[in-house]
């Protein structure tokens, strides 16, 4: 077993992904495993499936990091997005440690994606303010100041013209409303301009499922901040969670 490897597990509303991560490069060692999230997303069911994922990707007792679509404070989940409301107020870190039988570090999913990009990806070691935005079913955010994470920002919940930003500008809105790339990029631009007024970022990294289509919409963005495409796309949560596990 390499001391420079760890397990990252990314829990989402539709799928649970896991893999071994090389902590020197940020690359996955071998293939990732993806299994469906149990219907309803209840904590005990998710923990059980997470144990199955761990058993399939790791037999060497490596450290484990888990990211979840929730605000995480001192191991407790204080919100729940696309998973059961039973997560709210739960000692989720304790649940995973008990179920998996080893120490676990828990983090918000967008914060995990941000850690991956800032440490290994397109935002590596930036000075000033860096924001990682994940465009997927919703909008996640990870804010960094001189490389240090400001956790649980949840900037996808800002409002654009009276409507929650992630409802209007997430990658899911492109498909749901059958938008053209230019029209979707206009919504993202509107969202980012609000971010610029609030935080004056030096760099914005766009990740999540939408980042796989970066070349289709990036040239339509009308913003002032330097924009980069994420390196890890949908693997960022795995990489960031594993990074946390060894920190």
Q: Give yes or no on whether 5-111+235-245 and 124-230 have one common fold.
A: yes
Helix (H) / strand (E) element for 231: namely none
Helix (H) / strand (E) element for 28: namely strand 28-36
Average pLDDT over residues 94-114: 96
pLDDT of 166 strictly over 50: yes
pLDDT at 126: 67
CATH of domain 5-111+235-245: 3.30.420.40
pLDDT of 130 strictly over 70: yes
Average pLDDT over residues 39-52: 97
Domain regions of the chain by residue span: 5-111+235-245, 124-230
d(CA 142, CA 144): 7
Instruction: Give the whole-number percent of the chain exceeding pLDDT 90.
Output: 88
Average pLDDT over residues 154-181: 94
pLDDT at 1: 46
pLDDT in tens, 190-244: 999 999 999 999 999 999 989 999 999 999 999 999 999 999 988 999 999 999 9
- Is it true that domain 124-230 has CATH number 3.40.50.720? no
pTM over 0.85: yes
d(CA 5, CA 94): 23
- Cα dihedral: 127, 108, 160, 14 (round 10): 130
Strand partners, 59: none
Structural contact between residues 119 and 132, judged by C-beta atoms closer than 8 angstroms: no
DSSP string of the chain, one letter each residue: --TTEEEEEEE-SSEEEEEEEETTT--EEEEEEEEEPPTT--HHHHHHHHHHHHHHH-SS---EEEEESS-EETTEE---SSS-GGGTTB-HHHHHHHHHTS-EEEEEHHHHHHHHHHHHSTT-S-SSEEEEEEESSSEEEEEEETTEEE----GGGSEETTEEHHHHHSHHHHHHTT--HHHHHHHHHHHHHHHHHHH--SEEEEESGGGGGHHHHGGG---SSEEEE-SSGGGHHHHHHHHHHT-
- What's the token pair of residue 175? 């498909």
Average pLDDT over residues 89-97: 98
């Amino acid at each position: 077993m390499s001391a420079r490897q760890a397990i990252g597990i990314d829990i989402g509303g539709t799928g649970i992904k896991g893999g071994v991560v090389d902590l020197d490069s940020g690359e996955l060692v071998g293939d990732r495993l993806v299994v469906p999230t149990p219907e309803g997303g209840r904590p005990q069911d998710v923990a059980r499936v997470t144990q199955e994922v761990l058993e399939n990707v790791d037999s060497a007792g490596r450290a484990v990091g888990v990211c979840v679509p929730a605000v995480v404070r001192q191991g407790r989940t204080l919100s729940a997005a696309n998973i059961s409301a039973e997560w709210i107020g739960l000692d989720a870190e304790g649940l995973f440690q008990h179920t998996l039988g080893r120490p676990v570090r828990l983090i918000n999913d967008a914060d995990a994606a941000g850690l991956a990009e800032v440490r290994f990806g397109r935002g590596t070691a930036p000075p000033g303010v860096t924001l990682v935005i994940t465009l997927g079913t919703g909008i996640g955010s990870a804010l960094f100041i001189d490389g240090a994470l400001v956790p649980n920002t949840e900037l996808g919940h800002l409002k654009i013209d009276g409507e929650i930003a992630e409802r209007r500008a997430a990658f899911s809105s492109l498909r749901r409303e059958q938008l053209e790339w230019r029209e979707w990029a206009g919504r993202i631009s509107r969202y980012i301009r609000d971010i610029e007024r609030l935080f004056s970022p030096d760099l914005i990294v766009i990740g999540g499922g939408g980042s796989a289509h970066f070349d289709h919409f990036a040239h339509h963005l009308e913003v002032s901040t330097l924009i980069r495409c994420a390196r890890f796309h949908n693997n960022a949560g795995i990489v960031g969670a594993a990074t946390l596990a060894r920190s």
